[in-house]
Amino acid sequence: MKPEAFEPKILAFCCHYCAYSSADLAGSMRLQYPPNVRIIRTPCTGRLETEYFMKALEKGADGVLVAGCLEGGCHFIEGNYCAKRRVDYIRDLLAEIGIDKERLRMVNVSAAMARPLTEIITDMVETVRKLGPNPLGAARTNPTLETA
């Protein structure tokens, strides 16, 4: 019996106006991306706090994708710039604690960029698949790794 191939769990936070609309358009166009991605619609990526990214990884997500409006095109003026600063901060923090920072990524797309979004999602899944399971998730599910 062969061991099962690792299929990463990716959580994607998508802004309502651009990235979520782009994902919706991808569905209308029948474009496919890996099914192991769960999309969460947010009013704006600028509303996402750093705790959301860390909590997603802590709870077992193997990767987190933040997809916002194009730079300069945010419906809330500077929301995507705030999100970018937060994502960069957490990526640096992940690197400091020994977790590959590629598990967290931010991209900017417009509502009409369905095909590029599906390619971005597919690339994210492939990147995380190469990295392997989230070490935080492994510690949580393996009792021998848990600390008292």
Q: What is the per-residue pLDDT for 137?
A: 72
Residues 126-140: tens digit of each pLDDT: 999 999 999 987 555
Contact 31, 114 (CB under 8 A): yes
C-alpha 61/C-alpha 9 separation (Å) is 5
Contact 105, 61 (CB under 8 A): no
Q: What is the per-residue pLDDT for 140?
A: 52
Whether residue 45 is contained in a domain is answered as yes
Whether residue 18 is contained in a domain is answered as yes
Whether residue 4 is contained in a domain is answered as no
Residues 82-132: tens digit of each pLDDT: 999 999 999 999 999 999 999 999 999 999 999 999 999 999 999 999 999
Contact 56, 64 (CB under 8 A): yes
Count of domains forming the chain:
1
Q: What is the per-residue pLDDT for 136?
A: 84
Whether residue 20 is contained in a domain is answered as yes
Direct distance between the N- and C-terminal alpha carbons of the chain, in angstroms, rounded to an integer: 35
CATH number at residue 36: 3.40.50
Residues 44-78: tens digit of each pLDDT: 999 999 999 999 999 999 999 999 999 989 999 99
pLDDT grade for 5, boundaries at 50, 70 and 90: confident
Q: Residue 72: which region, alpha, beta or left (left: phi > 0; alpha: psi -120 to 50)?
A: left
Residues 18-36: tens digit of each pLDDT: 999 999 999 999 999 999 9
Whether residue 5 is contained in a domain is answered as no
Whether residue 3 is contained in a domain is answered as no
Whether residue 1 is contained in a domain is answered as no
Expressed as residue numbers, the domain containing 136 is: 10-145
